[in-house]
């Protein structure tokens, strides 16, 4: 997501014809955590992957200021090698081990995760009971609300998460700033956005188990709505009389694609501030919580298949949006896709209110009971 943003300007101007790419070509570019973590800290730990993504993104944005794109790609491989090494020391999930009839190994894993003085045997028995009740799923089971409701909620959350436009916005961050004649150099704007993402997602991780999932989802969608609306109004107001805000008149002193002679002021911080608030909104709620909630509400019996389906839906949606985004911008202007994203943020608020359950402080077993019996579960003690 970050790599293309810093690389796009370089590949558009690369001297090697075989590497020269246009914007259309450039668009090609925690179940485990939920099962091993205690309910009291599952929200914080579930935000860990998002925090690491943001840290990596900020590092690549910063390196993109000084490194050519080839070395930027090499730098992106370093965390992968570190992750492969650390994976060797990670224990298997107790739920996975019990599912595979490895009780003793599951007991040792849970004891290691919770500590020898914890009441891990009681938790292990709860996991065993949950696993035993979900053996042998049939296709006919999908008619049961216990299965299809959490699956639909998870899939739709991942779909709506991407429909907010966060992926094409981050992928085309520098081109977006170039088209809005921001006061700062686009590459510095991108680095600032990366820094804000890190600060915000850290705050969100601390609030996850205190404010609750739904409260953060509401705040997230509302902030994104206001910021998307600001970008829409700004880009529509400052568009050229011809109706195309993205195609300027190239000159010797202005980069191709920057709007010239379209009634824009010499520079403004409105695009940067608006994009920052879009990122802030996304990272406090719909970014990490869509991933976390998926791993919390899916029943054990279908968690593997359903999680894979959610990820596929998410990446297909992100790919399609990234492909279409610049085509829409070229045809109608920047205001058009941002107006669409504004409407999606309103849809997200309504969806959260009607369908998303609160999972703060509940064990995975209690969350499963929610879909069996309705909203009458007992909140786990922290």
- Flag whether pLDDT at 23 surpasses 80: no
123 compared with 262, residue with greater pLDDT: 123
Give the whole-angstrom CA distance, residue 289 versus residue 214: 9
Give the whole-angstrom CA distance, residue 303 versus residue 305: 6
Of these ranges, 24-28, 118-122, 137-141, 321-325, the one predicted with the greatest mean pLDDT is 321-325
- Flag whether pLDDT at 145 surpasses 70: yes
Give the whole-angstrom CA distance, residue 57 versus residue 198: 9
Report pTM: 0.63
Q: Are 23 and 326 in contact (CB under 8 A)?
A: yes
Residue 34's Cβ-side half-sphere holds a number of Cα atoms within 13 Å equal to 26
Write the burial class of residue 167 (CB in 10 Å: 0-12 exposed, 13-18 middle, 19+ buried): buried
CA angle 271/275/281 to nearest 5° reads 150
238 compared with 285, residue with greater pLDDT: 285
Between the two ends of the chain, the Cα-to-Cα distance in Å is: 36
Q: Are 294 and 155 in contact (CB under 8 A)?
A: no
pLDDT, one tens digit per residue, over 187-219 is 676 677 777 777 777 777 777 767 788 889 999
Cβ contacts of residue 353 below 8 Å, gap of 6+?
Answer: 218
Question: By three-state DSSP, how is residue 379 classified?
Answer: coil
Q: Are 286 and 345 in contact (CB under 8 A)?
A: no
Question: By three-state DSSP, how is residue 176 classified?
Answer: helix
- Flag whether pLDDT at 226 surpasses 90: yes
Q: Are 303 and 31 in contact (CB under 8 A)?
A: yes
10-19: long-range contacts, CB 8 A cutoff, minimum separation 24: 10/68, 10/69, 11/69
Report CA torsion sign: 347, 348, 350, 355: positive
**What per-residue confidence (pLDDT) applies to 47?**
61
Mean pLDDT, the chain, rounded, equals: 75
User: Helix axis angle, 186-211 relative to 2-12, nearest 10°?
Assistant: 170
pLDDT, one tens digit per residue, over 45-60 is 666 666 777 777 777 7
Give the whole-angstrom CA distance, residue 317 versus residue 314: 5
Domain 2-90+133-373 has CATH 1.20.1250.20: yes
Cβ contacts of residue 17 below 8 Å, gap of 6+?
Answer: none
**Could you tell me the residue ranges of all domains in the chain?**
2-90+133-373
**What per-residue confidence (pLDDT) applies to 143?**
76
**What per-residue confidence (pLDDT) applies to 41?**
63
């Amino acid at each position: 997501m970050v790599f293309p943003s810093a690389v796009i300007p370089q590949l558009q101007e690369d001297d090697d014809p075989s590497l020269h790419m246009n914007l259309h070509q450039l668009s090609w570019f925690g179940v485990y955590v939920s099962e091993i973590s205690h309910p009291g800290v599952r929200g914080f730990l579930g935000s860990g992957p998002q925090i690491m993504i943001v840290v990596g993104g900020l590092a690549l944005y910063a390196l993109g200021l000084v490194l050519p794109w080839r070395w930027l790609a090499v730098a992106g491989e370093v965390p992968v090698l570190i992750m492969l090494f650390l994976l060797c020391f990670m224990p298997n999930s107790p739920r996975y081990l019990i599912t595979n009839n490895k009780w003793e190994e599951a007991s040792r894993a849970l004891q290691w995760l919770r500590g020898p003085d914890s009441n891990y045997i009681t938790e292990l028995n709860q996991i065993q009971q949950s696993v035993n009740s979900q053996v042998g799923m049939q296709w006919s089971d999908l008619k049961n609300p216990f299965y299809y409701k959490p699956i639909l909620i998870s899939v739709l959350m991942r779909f709506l998460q991407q429909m907010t436009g966060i992926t094409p916005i981050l992928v085309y961050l520098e081109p977006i700033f170039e088209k809005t004649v921001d006061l700062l150099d686009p590459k510095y704007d991108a680095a600032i956005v990366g820094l804000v993402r890190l600060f915000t997602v850290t705050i969100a991780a601390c609030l996850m188990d205190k404010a609750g999932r739904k409260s953060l989802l509401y705040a997230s969608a509302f902030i994104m709505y206001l910021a998307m609306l600001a970008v829409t109004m700004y880009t529509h107001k400052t568009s050229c009389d011809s109706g195309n805000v993205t195609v300027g008149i190239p000159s010797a002193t202005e980069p191709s694609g920057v709007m010239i002679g379209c009634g824009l002021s010499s520079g403004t911080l409105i695009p940067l501030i608006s994009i920052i608030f879009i990122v802030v909104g996304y990272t406090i709620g719909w970014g990490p919580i869509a991933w976390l909630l998926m791993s919390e509400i899916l029943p054990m019996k279908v968690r593997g298949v359903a999680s894979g389906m959610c990820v596929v839906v998410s990446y297909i949606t992100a790919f399609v949006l990234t492909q279409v985004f610049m085509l829409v911008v070229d045809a109608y202007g920047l205001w058009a896709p941002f107006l669409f994203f504004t409407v999606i943020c309103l849809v997200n608020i309504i969806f959260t209110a009607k369908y998303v359950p609160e999972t703060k402080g509940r064990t995975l077993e209690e969350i499963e009971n929610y879909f069996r019996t309705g909203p009458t579960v007992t909140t786990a003690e922290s």
